[in-house]
Structures are given as C-alpha cells and as structure tokens.
Amino acid sequence: MDLEKICQSVIEIAKDAGAFIAGERDNFDLKLVEIKGKANFVSYVDKKAEQMIVERLKAVLPEAGFITEEGTAFDSGEKYRWVIDPLDGTTNFIHGAPPYAVSIGLIENDEVILGVVYEISKDECFYAWKGSKSMLNGKEIHVSEASTTQEALIVTGFPYGEIKNSDAFIETIKYLMVHSHGIRRLGSAATDLSYVAAGRFEAFWETGLSPWDVAAGTIILRQAGGRVTDFKGGNNFLFGGEIVATNKNYFNEFQSVIEKNYRQ
C-alpha cells in the first residue's frame, strides 16, 4: 500500500471539504443548527462535508470501512477503516470563532497509519503516515524539547454534558495553572494534537473524546516525535475516551500528574 500517494489524495479531499465549510460560514444561520446534546451541535454543513469526504474516500481505498461522526457510512469489520470528523470544532464554527478543522484518519485494524488535519481558518494542513515525517503545509514539524511543567504551555478541552471526573479535572487545572506557562482551550481536539506536534503546545489531555476526534492527530503527533497514551500510560486512547499527548521529554512528568489526579 502506497501510504504517501493515499495521503496526497486525502489532503486534497480535506482541503476541498474545508473550502466548502469556509464558504458556508460566510452566510451561516444559527437557526439551522441541530442539538445532539448539551453543547453538542451539528448542522447541514457537518453532514454535507462528511458526505463529500466519504464519497471521495471510497474511490481512494474501496476496501475500507468507515467510522464517522455523523453516521454517513459504517464499518463492517474491515481491516482498513477511515475515521472521519468532517468539522471538528462545530461549536466554534457556528459562532464564527476559530479553530475548526477537517480530520481524516486511516486505521489498519486498531492502529492509526495515516492522518490529515486541515485547520480551515489558518489554511494549515497537518499530515503524516506510518514511517513518514510529520508535515505542515509541506514543511517538516517537530514537537518541542521542553521537559518540565515549568516550561510547558498546555491545552485541554472542557467537558460538557454529564461531567464525570470533575474533581480530577479541577485539581489538574489548579496544579497546572500554578506551575506551567498556562492552559489553553481551543475547542478542537484535532487541532490541539496537531499543535502539540508542531511544538506550539507541550501537552494535551482530555476525556469524553471519540475516535474521530483524535485518530488523525495522534499519528501526526507520533511521527513528529511525540507520545500518546491513555491516562494510565496504556494504548487505549483511540476508543477509550481519554488521552494524554505530549512531547517525549515531558511525557513522564505530565502523565504522572494526570494519572495521580484521575485515579483518586
């Protein structure tokens, strides 16, 4: 399988979907938003973008199944599956606030082997495949070299809906606010992971995520020299709903903070 060739096709698909999304933003009407849950929204833009992506990916890899946020297509136990979030950061999008991104990952069994994240508002395309370097708009990117909390700028996502582990989240926020360069909340997990890969942040953690939120970003981060695990340091981050993502130098310290607070 020529992953480089496939990746180039996926980049084109992600950018075309991004162009559609950007065009719709200009005249978007909040009345067209559907509510899936508390602070969990979907619009015709998400659905149309996903349909566009799925139809074109079928031609790229006909034998692959799909894991999609809006349910356009499904997997049936295929070896290869596309994992798609057509608009990661929908809440940002409907309010006209960046970032929001197209996220497309490819998994072989349960291993992510290719990822493309196209952050629309900045026209930044992050991508990587198994064995490649991580790239941003054609230029190689790397994680930062920071190794301590005192050197780190950290990003997370705020939980919504039924909040679990709220005490652990608050304790982690309190500790990192005091000891780090600060905490940011962008509203797009795919973008968060890509920014860690590019060295803009040192670490990211979040709970309540779905595979389409993280699949593409995780391989981009890993190929940029980063580490991705679940809260316990294991590999159940794709389907397990929790993720720790850092550069390699900072991983042990950061992961220990997360595990300590969330196991209490």
Same domain? For 121 and 30 the reply is yes
Residues 108-130 as b or e (16 or more Cβ within 10 Å = b):
beeebbbbbbbbbbeebbbbbbb
Residue with tokens 């950007």: 22
Same domain? For 198 and 249 the reply is yes
Task: Tell me which of 105, 140, 175 is where a domain ends.
Answer: 140
Query: Residue 30: its pLDDT value, please?
Result: 63
The predicted-structure confidence for 134-161, as pLDDT tens digits, reads as follows: 999 999 999 999 999 999 999 999 876 5
One DSSP character per residue, 141-159 reads -------SGGG-EEEE---
Average pLDDT across the chain, whole number: 92
The predicted-structure confidence for 30-78, as pLDDT tens digits, reads as follows: 666 666 555 556 678 888 999 999 999 999 999 999 999 877 877 778 9
Task: Tell me which of 140, 158, 193 is where a domain ends.
Answer: 140
Task: Tell me which of 91, 118, 140 is where a domain ends.
Answer: 140
Same domain? For 118 and 187 the reply is no
CATH, residue 232: 3.40.190.80
The residues with which 105 forms a beta bridge, in sequence order, are: 83, 115
Owning domain of residue 191:
149-262
Q: Give me the number of domains the chain comprises.
A: 2
CATH, residue 114: 3.30.540.10
Query: Distance between CA atoms of 249 and 246, rounded to whole angstroms?
Result: 8
Same domain? For 9 and 128 the reply is yes
Q: Which two tokens stand for residue 19?
A: 């162009």
- More reliable by pLDDT, 23 or 43: 23
